[in-house]
Structure 1
Amino acid sequence: MAMERFLEREIVFANGAIGEAIEFESAGPANFHDILNGADVPKITIDGKLFLPPDHDGSPLPCVIVVPGSVGVAESHLMHTETLCAAGYAAFIVDPFGARSVAVTYDDQTQFSFAASAYDVLAAVKTMAARPEVDASRIGLQGHSRGGAAVVQAAMKAMQRTVLGEGEAIKAVYGVYPWAGQQFLNPDIGNVTMRIVIGEQDEWCSPQQAQGYSQAIRLASALGRRGDLTFKMYEGAHHSYDRRQGMENFPTATVAPRAPTVYIDDAGAFIDPITGTANPAGTDRDFMVYAAKAGFMVTGAQLGSSGTLADQFREDMLGFWEGAL
């Protein structure tokens, strides 16, 4: 029996907001080099749902695009989308998996590339910017885990310029426990306001890599006197600490939080961490095979929330968007 796609679900929030299904064209680049060099890559139509406050008077609203992680669109992502909609934002939640016939990626992150995930985000920005209900000058991105990696990479000036054209369409980014195993060597985010948050006990994504990328982005912004980045680490928090659910073990999850960082040069090529050589044809799979052979890959990881962490997240999320958009 075929799994019901997010596109087909009817979702109505407590405030009466009804999700409008929207399909849009994205692509499947093999890596960031494909994107930055205009390679001819396969196109794919993916989808999401747009929620507008029921009392909205038709004037353009600031919009937050919510991007899920390796479990696909989960109840926690819908919860955050509902919170944002209730706070007066247009909220568009993206489903990167349904059109690709992918259920989850936590047991195999190579089903489609991290570059494709970032491209999905930029395609969603382009789609929302064209909507009359959305203020194209106030579009923000909120991504979780793999989605966190996607929104951070999509915010890079080179990525925006290549996919969206001149003139930045992304105003702010909220990267929620992003995987930072791939990092642009010169991470210029232009005028984007960015915040990265992660739990100190995260077993899926390295807190140290998230710290390192945050600092590199902060330094790049300071040098260019542009943009703004803040970082927060939550004491005692695990992956998905924003969920209102207890801890859960995923025995088939394949993670490598101790693997070396793979850097991306200005042309989008992955730089081999051992040889230091940039390879335009390099892919996620190449480095995941390396991580497995080097003994960095482990199976089994837990995620979930405890205490007041979910409430702390909600407060931080709303505070960020109030200030950023």
Structure 2
Amino acid sequence: MRCQHALQTLLILIGLGVSSQTAPADPLRDLRAGQRGQILFQSLTPTGPTELMARQSPEATIAGVLTFPENSQATSPAMIIMHGSGGIIPGREGAWAERLNRMGVATFVVDSFTPRGFSATGDDQSRLPLAASIADALSALQLLATHPGIDPNRIGIMGFSKGGQLALYTTLEPFRRAVIRDDVHFALHIAFYASCSIPYLAEQTTKAPILFLLGREDDFTPADHCRRYAAFFEQKGSPIEFHVLDGAHHGFDLPTPLKFLPRAQTARNCGLDIILEPEVTAQRWDTGTLIAPMEIKPYLRTCMQRGASYGGNTEALAVAIDQVSKSILRYLKPDH
């Protein structure tokens, strides 16, 4: 077992481009020693929301990179950055970490895929249950809250596409309570071009503020579906900022030209609420019919499609940077 664990750790580090001399050999359960840089930490891999909420999920080792603003003093606000179905992409997660550091915010870029042996799930979302990534985001929050250089009351989450879903789902109390046993919660949620076609719903949320950043031309995760989800969160007490950016497609903050991905799996023609309490069930938007958990996958097979556009837009990126900066100044209040 010891040799197997050492091999798994080495593979994780190779995938991240990290030498074994610059990262811990075992996953950390707290950061009380003030660690920075490459960090392995403990998370969970539930098969779905029911297993996550039942707290019966197997443990998993996840990786992240923690960076701080230059000349940071006392405690800093922080932002957990969650990637999408394409994994960590050059010019996106790292670029946002640099921008946020310049705004006075520490960043923790989480890699949910490499430690589990994936590079991407865009053409098959079933490779890794969404509930596992939810657990990763909340486990990262619990970890960062123990760092002496981070204010636990000023930690936000930012995510892209599938990561944008995580930025939204981590407001739901049944998920938060499944991972975090105290009152620690995100102070700000920023969702870039999230899919809102199959939203999770719960009676209780954290009521934290949410910033939606969406593309008007997005044929992967349509912006209009998120209007409905934003209304749900607003009704629950979250302050909402909702921006649909002109000329923007999915991935508008990337430094890459627009292209069509024929194998991309999209839920743009779906419409299904997943209701978490008192037990997991679902309701179709078109008919209002309640369906049991075992009927969810058959329904999704009928509505999921393939093919969507993907690429950057410099004007939309500039608007997004401005809106992120305003939200951070308002809700995370960096010192400089």
User: Which of 277, 288, 291 is equivalent to 1:277?
Assistant: 291
CA distance in structure 2 between the aligned counterparts of 1:89 and 1:19, rounded to whole angstroms = 14
**Deviation string for 1:153-206 (max 9, x for gaps)?**
112122223321242421111111111233233364223111112112212213
Q: Does residue 194 of structure 2 align to residue 178 of structure 1?
A: yes
Query: In 1, Cα distance between the equivalents of 2:65 and 2:165?
Result: 21
1:70 aligns with 2:85: yes
Instruction: Tell me whether 1:36 sits opposite 2:53 in the alignment.
Output: yes
Q: Contact 1:34–1:268 (CA<8 Å) still a contact in 2? A: no
| Match among 276, 292, 306 for residue 265 of structure 1 | 276
Deviations 1:239-274 (A, max 9, x none): 011123221222221213011223223145141537
Residue 247 of structure 2 is aligned to residue 233 of structure 1: no
In the other structure, the counterpart of 1:251 is 262
- Partners of 2:281 and 2:292 within 8 A in 1: yes
TM-aligned CA distance change 1:165 to 1:139, over 3 Å: same
Q: Distance in 2 between matches of 1:251 and 1:85?
A: 36
Work out the CA distance in 2 between the residues paired with 1:155 and 1:127.
17
5+ residue gaps in structure 2? 1-10, 21-34
SS where residue 195 of structure 2 aligns?
coil
CA distance in 2, matches of 1:151, 1:7: 26
SS at match of 1:178: coil
Give the equivalent residue in structure 2 for 1:218: 234
Aligned residues: 303
Take 1:9 and 1:301, find their aligned partners in 2: how far apart are those partners? 37
Q: Supply the distance in 1 between the matched residues of 2:248 and 2:62 (Cα, whole angstroms).
A: 32
Counterpart secondary structure, 2:157: strand
Distance, in Å, in 2 between the alignment partners of 1:47 and 1:8 is: 11
**Amino acid corresponding to residue 29 of structure 1 in structure 2:** P
Indicate the residue corresponding to 1:6 in structure 2.
16
CA distance in 1 between counterparts of 2:158 and 2:142 reads: 16
Structure 1 unpaired stretches of 5+: 11-17, 222-226
Q: Is 2:146 the partner of 1:146? A: no
2:215 is equivalent to residue 199 of structure 1: yes
C-alpha contact 1:242 1:314 (8 A) present in aligned 2:
no
Sequence identity of aligned pairs in percent?
A: 23
SS, match of residue 312 in structure 1: helix
Report what 2:300 is aligned to.
291
**Cα distance 1:141–1:161, how it changes in 2: closer, same or farther (>3 A)?**
same
Amino acid across the alignment from 2:181: G
- Superposed CA RMSD in Å reads 2.3
Code of the aligned partner of 2:16: F
TM-score (norm 1): 0.86
Residue 29 of structure 2 is matched in structure 1 by none
| CA shift in 2, pair 1:299/1:166, >3 Å | same
Task: Call closer, same or farther: CA 1:115–1:156 in 2, change over 3 Å.
Answer: same
Q: 1:314 to 1:229 in 2, by over 3 A?
A: same
Q: Is the 8 A contact 1:237 1:305 kept in 2?
A: yes
How far residue 303 of structure 1 moved from its aligned partner, in angstroms, is: 0.9
Separation in 2, partners of 1:120, 1:276? 30
Is 1:171–1:191's contact at 8 Å kept on the other side of the alignment?
no
| TM-aligned CA distance change 1:9 to 1:215, over 3 Å | farther
| CA distance in 2: counterparts of 1:125 and 1:297, whole angstroms | 32
Q: 1:206·1:258 contact (CA, 8 Å) conserved in 2?
A: no
Taking the aligned partners of 1:172 and 1:310, their CA distance within structure 2 comes to 20
Q: Distance in 2 between matches of 1:9 and 1:246?
A: 33
Measured in 2, the distance between the counterparts of 1:182 and 1:297 equals 11
- In structure 1, what is the Cα distance between the partners aligned to 2:308 and 2:200? 27
Does the CA contact (< 8 Å) of 2:172 and 2:202 recur in 1?
no
Are 1:23 and 2:30 counterparts? no
Alpha carbons of structure 1 residues 118 and 109: separation in structure 2 relative to 1, 3 Å: same
- Aligned residue runs from structure 1 range 74-223, under 5 A: 74-75=89-90, 76-186=92-202, 188-221=204-237
Q: Distance in 1 between matches of 2:201 and 2:166?
A: 16
| Cα separation, 2, equivalents of 1:7 and 1:154 | 29
